[in-house]
Amino acid sequence: MGMGPLDNAASAALEAAAAAAAAPSRAGSYAVLQCGEDSEYVRQKYGGYFAVFRALLEEDGERWRVYSAVRGELPADAEAAGFDGFVISGSCADAHGDEPWILALVDLTRRVHAAGKRVLGVCFGHQILCRALGGRTGRSAKGWDIGVSCIHPTAAAARLFAPLKLPVHMPVIEFHQDEVWELPPGAEALARSDKTRVEMFRLGGRAMGVQGHPEYSKDVLMSIADRLLRHNHILDCQVEVAKTSFDVRQPDKELWSKVCRGFLKGRLQSSQQQGLPGGSGQDELRRAAAGQGAVEQGVQGLPQGKAPVVAAARCGAIAGGNWGGIGCLG
């Protein structure tokens, strides 16, 4: 018996579906919005910060491009439409500042997020993402955080990154004096530390901020710290605290690479897909600040590196503001 028109259509649809399943998936296309100048050290040793980010995030077959946001170079909307995701880097500038390039970056961040693109913000980028989506950022009352910090994931992070089986503490390199003050509407906190209430946050599946520097290594951090010290932006004791922090713990770059890649490449399950309740961002933030989250309670009693934390508190804060012109991405 021959096939009728409907049978032919069904067969063609099945063949098309089978061909699509057999075909290799399209490699992603990503852009780094670089918000600071390359330091001479990083340029000579690594080929620039763009190469440092690619080492953390890039996988075979992907297309990556860098835009110098700090110089006013940003993709037009038609060009931005061709990317699957964006990474906003650190900077020597303040995310709450009103320099023209910062305002342009905030505006672009809003547009690409509204267009459904994934945006990963790192340090300054974390704060820019918060600002663009309706949150508030500003100076930390606790001053500089420089060195390896112990990050405590919230219960929401444990759900979101369930396939990675997150540990109760996630060491990462930090270099900042600003922080998220208030999360954007609908966002949820994903991690905290002793000095910073919002170390990570997300808004749905398309925006995630990380206050630390998963891309940094010790030599990169210390080259920036030494340069800031020479320009009197930080104190000798703060540099010593940063060095000492590496004696307490090492940053877990492999874990952070998986976390950042998992988000940027869209591999994470939503809480709805996992059948678990999603948390309110502000509720998670309040629990983190009070040390009452389920995951946070499990952290108590672990080695926290008290000596560096105490030393940092004694150092206090120094010199605010824009460190521009000294080549850093803090």
Give pLDDT tens digits for 201-240: 999 999 999 999 999 999 999 999 999 999 999 999 999 9
Structure-token pair, residue 320: 């605010």
Longest dimension (CA), the chain: 88
Judged against a pLDDT cut of 60, whether residue 297 lies above it is answered with no
Judged against a pLDDT cut of 90, whether residue 171 lies above it is answered with yes
Mean predicted lDDT score pLDDT of the chain: 82
**Which one is catalytic: 179, 188, 215, 284?**
215
Judged against a pLDDT cut of 60, whether residue 6 lies above it is answered with no
**Looking at residue 268, what is its pLDDT?**
77
**Which one is catalytic: 113, 152, 176, 213?**
213
**CA–CA distance, 170 with 258 (Å, rounded to integer):** 12
**Which one is catalytic: 123, 260, 315, 328?**
123
> CATH: 3.20.20.70, 3.40.50.2300, 3.30.2130.30, 3.40.50.880. Which one for 27-315?
3.40.50.880
**Looking at residue 329, what is its pLDDT?**
59
What strands, in cross-sheet order, belong to the sheet with 29-34?
A: 63-68, 29-34, 85-88, 118-122, 207-210, 200-203, 188-192, 145-153, 170-176
**Looking at residue 27, what is its pLDDT?**
84
Q: What φ, ψ does residue 138 adopt, rounded to 5°? A: 180, -170
Spell out the domain ranges in the chain. 27-315
Q: Is 215 a catalytic residue?
A: yes
Q: Is 296 a catalytic residue?
A: no
Which of these, 41, 111, 98, 108, lies nearest to 73 by C-alpha position?
A: 108
Per residue in 137-170, pLDDT (tens digit) is 999 999 999 999 999 999 999 999 999 999 999 9
**CA–CA distance, 327 with 150 (Å, rounded to integer):** 26
Which of these, 136, 154, 145, 206, lies nearest to 172 by C-alpha position?
A: 145
Q: Is 150 a catalytic residue?
A: no
User: What pTM value is reported for the model?
Assistant: 0.79
Which residue type sits at 74?
Answer: L
The stretch 277-304 carries a mean pLDDT of 37
**Residue 263 pLDDT grade (very low, low, confident, very high; cuts 50, 70, 90):** very high
